[in-house]
Amino acid sequence: MRKVTTLGLLGTGVIGGGWAARALHFGIDVIAADVKPEMEEWIRGAVANAEPALSRLTSAPLPPKGKLSFTTDLREMAQRADFIQENIPEQLPLKQRMLAEVSRHAAADVIIASSTSGLTPTDLQRDMVAPERFCVAHPFNPVYLLPLVELVGGEKTAQSTIDASAKFFKYIGMHPLHVRREVPGHLTDRLQEALWREILHLVNDGVATTGELDESIIYGPGLRWAAMGTNLIYHLAGGESGMRHMLAQFGPCLKWPWTKLEAPELTDALIDRMVEGTQAQAAGRSIRELERLRDDYLVAIQQVLRQYNIGAGSTLRALEERLHQDATRTQAAQPATGGKPLRLMDTVVRSEWVDYNRHMSDFRYGQVFGDAIDAIFRQAGVDETYRASGRMYYTVENHIRHLGEAKAGESLYVTAQVLAVDDKRLHVFQSMHRGRDDKQIATAEQMYLHVDSAAAKATTVDPQVRAKFDAILSAQAGLPKPPEAGRAVGRAQQ
């Protein structure tokens, strides 16, 4: 098959727009064909809308973006494209007619693929010229972000068509999944549809609202499904003997009315297939090992959702708010710190903080020092409420020295010494230590400026906050100035 430098689109709805955005982003030219000329503006808008998210998918170097052109002439598109993707409405006779027509204008080595959700390729390729170069390539919304594309061949499809399509879709960042047997809905939509129809029953029967049903997924199984499917997850739930134990334990539930969908008979042959399948997925990894992987991504995804204050992330935010309040209350009840650096953070190196050296990445030291400073700020009264007044501290400089490493799972703590404070500036020295041996692994010397963020200029700190920092400064007056403070990069200390 030919090298794809131009993707032709037949039909330009949400799916067509998604294909265009993805292909252009990875350097493929796109020619979109639609009978309605007003769709040109529409597809350009769709591409522009996709760009902000798509541009953040990877920071790897990209080739120059592809060029988008539009035509109302199907023949022009078919003659200029190296690969054609059809995205017209889900009506079999319409698709058959249009696919046949496009196949008459496109060279025989141009693959023609259909985005159909549920129609089968044997039906679709029926009237085509050179039907062996046809397959279903079913993507998921948003096409420009989700990697999945189901590839399904019909009776007349050549294996080389599937292989070449898979190669092209990988080139534009996707995960081609070869569906080996034609069934209505392919694989993904069959599973989604079963869940969807059960939802409709539950709403219809007045059991729950759409919102409650969505919650029932996103705070639980949905988090797991981001990286492990039901089969592997159930394999893990079966303990050391995995799927076989799970089926023995929960097999009887298949007779229970837990859904309106009747299960197949759990024959020995079916059990064997399920067990062999999940063994292959485990690929020699123990249950313990897979559990660790599952736990790692579950923790990490919740951190991401916390940033967006959505789903499980909003639960985590609410929890942390309460924990901070409780901690502030506990601290207030304790006597003031004596002449020691403040101990600010006790944390653990997360697996996703570790780089190719298997040590914590440089910038994560900055993150931990930043969290530690937030803890000082909170103690001094610079919190959400204070910031809501438009005043806050901005970091002006941060000089980090790296003295040792930390591995995933190791505990860390940070101590801090206030070096100087005035009405606008705060000068702090922090020291990071490994919990297991108290070894100092980094220092940070930082200068903060108190600003009015609307005016974007320095402003005087609230006297109460200043008083808190002064109190820390005088409590620490007896501490020696750290020898590392006041040095430039590469200057040996005294």
Among residues 52, 284, 335, 478, which is the contact residue for a copy of itself, using CB under 8 A?
A: 52
Site for a copy of itself contains 257 (CB under 8 A) = yes
Site for a copy of itself contains 337 (CB under 8 A) = no
**Near a copy of itself in 95-124, by CB under 8 A:** 117-118
Q: Which of 105, 161, 87 lies closest to 131 in space, CA to CA?
A: 161
Site for a copy of itself contains 227 (CB under 8 A) = yes
**Near a copy of itself in 429-458, by CB under 8 A:** 445-447, 453
Site for a copy of itself contains 424 (CB under 8 A) = no
Site for a copy of itself contains 142 (CB under 8 A) = yes
Cα–Cα distance, 14 to 26 (Å, whole number)? 19
Site for a copy of itself contains 310 (CB under 8 A) = yes
* Cβ nearer to a copy of itself, comparing 30 with 274: 274
Cα–Cα distance, 365 to 443 (Å, whole number)? 9
Cα–Cα distance, 8 to 17 (Å, whole number)? 12
Peptide bond into 142 cis (omega under 30): yes
Q: How far is the CB of 185 from a copy of itself (least distance, A)?
A: 4
Q: How far is the CB of 97 from a copy of itself (least distance, A)?
A: 19
* Cβ nearer to a copy of itself, comparing 100 with 298: 298
Strand 342-348 to 411-421 pairing:
antiparallel
Site for a copy of itself contains 487 (CB under 8 A) = yes
Site for a copy of itself contains 94 (CB under 8 A) = no
Among residues 361, 415, 440, 459, which is the contact residue for a copy of itself, using CB under 8 A?
A: 361
Site for a copy of itself contains 255 (CB under 8 A) = no
Site for a copy of itself contains 367 (CB under 8 A) = yes
Site for a copy of itself contains 474 (CB under 8 A) = no
Site for a copy of itself contains 490 (CB under 8 A) = yes
User: Would you state the structure tokens that stand for residue 62, as one six-digit string?
Assistant: 């990209």
Q: How far is the CB of 148 from a copy of itself (least distance, A)?
A: 3
Q: What angle do CA 231, 236, 242 make, to 5 degrees?
A: 85
Q: How far is the CB of 381 from a copy of itself (least distance, A)?
A: 15
Among residues 79, 302, 415, 440, which is the contact residue for a copy of itself, using CB under 8 A?
A: 302
Cα–Cα distance, 445 to 340 (Å, whole number)? 17
* Cβ nearer to a copy of itself, comparing 31 with 406: 406
Answer whether 360's CB lies under 8 Å from 353's CB: yes
Alpha carbon of residue 444 to chain centroid = 31
Q: How far is the CB of 350 from a copy of itself (least distance, A)?
A: 5
* Residue 260 neighbours by CB under 8 Å, 6+ apart: 197, 198, 201
- 186 CB neighbour count, 10 Å cutoff: 23
Cα–Cα distance, 448 to 396 (Å, whole number)? 5
For 71-104, b where at least 16 C-beta lie within 10 A, e where not — what string? beebeebbebbbbbbbbbeeeeeebbebbbbbbe
Q: How far is the CB of 438 from a copy of itself (least distance, A)?
A: 19
Answer whether 130's CB lies under 8 Å from 140's CB: no
Site for a copy of itself contains 473 (CB under 8 A) = no
Among residues 199, 458, 471, 479, which is the contact residue for a copy of itself, using CB under 8 A?
A: 199
Q: How far is the CB of 157 from a copy of itself (least distance, A)?
A: 17
Site for a copy of itself contains 38 (CB under 8 A) = no
User: How many residues at the interface with a copy of itself, by CB under 8 A?
Assistant: 188
Q: What is the DSSP string of 84-120?
A: EEE---S-HHHHHHHHHHHHHHS-TTSEEEE--SS--
